[in-house]
Structure 1
Amino acid sequence: METADLLERCYPGRRAELKRDIFRKALGLFNEQGIEATTIEMIRAECDTSVGAIYHHFGNKEGLVAALFFTALDDQARLRDSYLAEAQTTQAGVHALVHSYVDWVDSQPEWARFQYHARFAVTKGPFQEELATRNRTRNKQLLEWLGAHGNELGRFPAELIPSMIVGQADSYCRAWLSGRVKGSPKAYRDMLAQAAWRSLCPTEPQ
């Protein structure tokens, strides 16, 4: 249901039904078989549609991988921005960024797993320029928040701050998705958020 819910959010309506089905089946195959090993023919067989229909929507396999990757990023950013909009202080903003990251991975593990695996292929492939353009648009609210709170976080380079905020959460989420740890990331969201804040403002009272 979680995958279906995400796709319904991003591609609602009956006209997008085939697109959602291709996405759903491709996501499963990419995670089970690996991106390199999965072919368009395998996806076609799972979807019971034509190769032409897949090419019509996505162009080729690289286009399908990129479209899935962009969909995951957009949904993740949507949750992040909704959390960040509620933050009234710098500390609350840091917590919001960690909480949204953890909550999205915890609720969308198959999408998060694919996102990690596909990142290199998309950032180094034919869609890297589109990714850069989309990132600038997608991260507008985040960049505005960082700019507004930069004085409180000013002892760190601006480009380093997002990694300092979500780095520990990202590390734990990757370990959880790979099965190296068992505890749900959501169970540790507050500890991860507090650790992120301490790393940025170690002298502030908690």
Structure 2
Amino acid sequence: MTRHKRSEETIRKLLDTALEVYPGDFTLRAMTTRSGVSMGSLYHHFGSLEGLAAALYGRCMDELLDRMAAAVEEAADARDGVRRAVVAYLGFTADHPDKARFIHAAPYALDLGPYAERIAAAKAPRLARLNGWIRGHMDAGTVARLPVAQVEMLLIGPVAEVTRRWLAGVPGIDLEEAARILPDRIWRSLGE
């Protein structure tokens, strides 16, 4: 195995282990013990436990945003795109609760602030795909002309809150029910 391949394997192993142990035992000792990777390698690749967390957050967020972007790009129209975006987010949560939990909890539980620029830069191309789709529909007059950040709050806010509550085990929160109810309600807030 080449040095590059070994390095990729070490990074993958640490990220996978971090997702397995979070939130219960997210410590350096747990990372090295469970992954079999040395403390030196962890520091070499990530600089710190928080650096590892930032990389994992980025990997999980990339998967969620890729799923949402692909969903809206397949949509027949703006309303269908909103429906697909909501269903994609909730489907990601159902399929990968560990990743959804990390996305929703890690920024509050760990100090990812020093990595904010790196995280934002990694998200930028995926958000550009989503925002490009939204702007196209704004230009066509099918989505209300609002600041993109406000569109994101109207589109993602309700879905993220359902996700947080479902992950926390709040009684009465059902992702399938949310996937049936939320798309039309969210569309009403965004449609022109």
What TM-score do you get using the length of structure 1 for normalisation? Answer: 0.80
Q: Show CA shifts across 1:151-182 (max 9, x none).
A: 32235333211111122221111111001135
**1:30 counterpart = 2:22:** yes
Q: Distance in 1 between matches of 2:24 and 2:131?
A: 35
Structure 1 residue aligned with 2:184: 194
Q: SS of the residue aligned with 2:144? A: coil
Q: Show CA shifts across 1:131-159 (max 9, x none).
A: 22222222111111111111322353332
CA 1:75–1:190 in 2, change beyond 3 Å: closer, same or farther? same
Cα RMSD (Å) of the superposition?
Answer: 2.3
What TM-score do you get using the length of structure 2 for normalisation? Answer: 0.86
**1:162 counterpart = 2:152:** yes
Displaced runs of 4 or more, over 4 A: 121-124
Give the alignment partner of residue 180 of structure 1, picking from 170, 177, 181: 170
Structure 2 residue aligned with 1:71: 59
CA 1:68–1:164 in 2, change beyond 3 Å: closer, same or farther? same
- Residue 185 of structure 1 aligns with an amino acid whose one-letter code is L
- Residue 20 of structure 1 aligns with an amino acid whose one-letter code is R
Q: SS of the residue aligned with 1:72? A: helix
**1:125 counterpart = 2:117:** no
How many residues align structurally?
186
CA 1:130–1:122 in 2, change beyond 3 Å: closer, same or farther? farther
CA 1:153–1:107 in 2, change beyond 3 Å: closer, same or farther? same
Structure 1, unpaired ranges of 5+: 1-12
Structure 2, unpaired ranges of 5+: none
